[in-house]
Amino acid sequence: ELKVEQNPLFLSMQEGKNYTIYCNYSTTSDRLYWYRQDPGKSLESLFVLLSNGAVKQEGRLMASLDTKARLSTLHITAAVHDLSATYFCAVRVHYGQNFVFGPGTRLSVLP
Amino acid sequence: KAGVTQTPRYLIKTRGQQVTLSCSPISGHRSVSWYQQTPGQGLQFLFEYFSETQRNKGNFPGRFSGRQFSNSRSEMNVSTLELGDSALYLCASSPASQPYEQYFGPGTRLTVT
């Protein structure tokens, strides 16, 4: 059974600081997803990582994937308050199989 | 292009009742997936439909069912509601050209009293 873990589960950081969220998964996969969810809202797709070594960046967020280590990271650079949200990673082992989500990392960026 | 729409957005039901939720995917998308989100269990996959066929099913009791119509719109039904069914139900659609992408709707907030 595929398991997806994230750490930390809660993260409080100051504006301007850098930090990394980690996502580990238990079964070989070459597709990893990062989503953002604001309180009471739906999921917003941030990144889709499709192959080993993939790196994608959007603004202050950068995601990477190491399929051999079964690890993805979401790096936050110079955090701002607007980044406060819950971040989920999700894995799909094969096409036609369902997505399995991690528990989410609740990020609070304090002024 | 319009996004994924879900109706109703909010719903209050009584234990033992049944409920039907609706999802309209993005135009041209033929795959629709349903998820349940609760504070305790997180995001859990319910089922996926593609071209009116259930392609995948999560680990939920038979009280949870769904279907997809020829226009790709999907409904999910929960019978004999329990308090634990209170959740945000999210629908996502995927295009055939990029099946690894999922676009989520705003969700239906179901409260069972």
B45 interfaces chain A, CB cutoff of 8 Å: yes
How many CA atoms does the CB half-sphere of B81 hold within 13 Å? 18
The answer to whether B45 contacts A100, with C-beta atoms less than 8 Å apart, is yes
Kindly state whether B58 is in contact with chain A, defined as any CB-CB distance less than 8 angstroms. Answer: yes
Q: Is the pLDDT of residue B99 over 80?
A: no
Average pLDDT over residues B64-92: 97
For A45, the closest of B43, B58, B102 (CB atoms) is B102
SS3 annotation, chain B: CCCCEEECCEEEECCCCCEEEEEECCCCCCEEEEEEEECCCEEEEEEEEECCEEEEECCCCCCEEEEECCCCCEEEEECCCCHHHCEEEEEEEECCCCCCCCEECCCEEEEEC
Do B43 and A33 lie within an 8 Å CB cutoff?
Answer: no
| Test the B interface: residue of A3, A99, A101, A106 with most B CBs within 10 Å | A99
The pLDDT, as a whole number, for residue B29 is 93
Distance from CA of B56 to the nearest CA of A (A): 6
Q: What is the pLDDT of residues A9-51, one digit of tens each?
A: 999 999 999 999 999 999 887 689 999 999 888 999 999 998 8
